[in-house]
Structure formats: structure tokens, C-alpha cells
Amino acid sequence: MSQTTSGSSQEEAPIKYVCGIDVGSQSCAGCVCRPDKSVVIKPVTFANAKEGWEVLFEKLTRLDAVPKQILIGMEATSLYGENLYQEAQVRGYQLCLLHPGQTHQFHRQQGLRAKTDRLDAMTIAKVLLSGEARAGYVRSRADHHVSRMGSFAYPLER
């Protein structure tokens, strides 16, 4: 499994659970599986807002694992998932950002035809468990603000 390490510790904790999250503009769907691919938490839908994320984080805290033993995977969906990603990172979870094309291809390879947010969450978890996940990159808030400042400065130069 390819993953980004959260926090300052470089220790590798064994992954006990994998959480797949499908992020949308208004809502998210998430599920949790064990490394043996058994489903621990069936896909649930929650609001893409801090109050909604608490629903998922509450379920994760009930598991017999510390945050660094839980790998959370999400698709890179524009700005919709950045705040959730940052919140999970602050809480110490392992994170893996996936390209939507990667999960789409995996979905097709599995012969799945239906496509819902809940099924997408399961697909993301399965991609992480397959060992085929290629981690993406999320800019820090500082990088994002510097980038935005640069885009405003450009038109002023002549």
C-alpha cells in the first residue's frame, strides 16, 4: 500500500484498518475494511462539513486502533476534499490521495457497473488494499495561499 505518513514520527505502524472516502461537494461516503478485506463499517453518508466529518471520526475512534494504524484513502476531487484531508492529517491518520482515474480503472477491472458514492467508497478501500494505490499530493495551506497570491500579482505586471 502506498501511503503518506502523517505527523512528524517516521515510525511505520502496522495498518489495522483501511477507510475509503468518496468526497463530493455536499456530502461524502465512507467505509472501513480490515486488511483481509472484510467490511467493518458499511458505507455511510455524511455531510462534507466539519459536523459531518465528526460522524466518521467518531466511528474510527471506536475501532481498536490508534489513528496512525488507520489508512484513509480519498480521491483528489478539486477543493472538495482538502479540508477533510487536512483535518484527518491533524488527527494523525495515515493518508493516501488517489487520482480519480485510478479508482475508475480499478472499478472497471472488477467488472462493476453500478456507480454510487457508497460503492465508490468501497472501491477506494479496495484500491488501497490491492497494493496498486499510487499516492497523490495535497498542497499545504501555505502553498495554496502563496499560489493564489501569485495569480493575483501577475496581472499587475506590465
Structural element, H or E, at residue 18:
strand 17-23
Whole-structure pTM value: 0.76
Mean pLDDT score of the chain, rounded to an integer?
Answer: 81
- pLDDT tens string 93-128: 999 998 887 777 776 777 766 678 888 899 899 989
For residue 8, the model assigns a pLDDT of 40
51-64: per-residue pLDDT in tens? 999 999 999 999 99
Structural domains in the chain plus CATH codes: 17-156 (3.30.420.40)
Closest CA to 128 of 105, 95, 101: 95
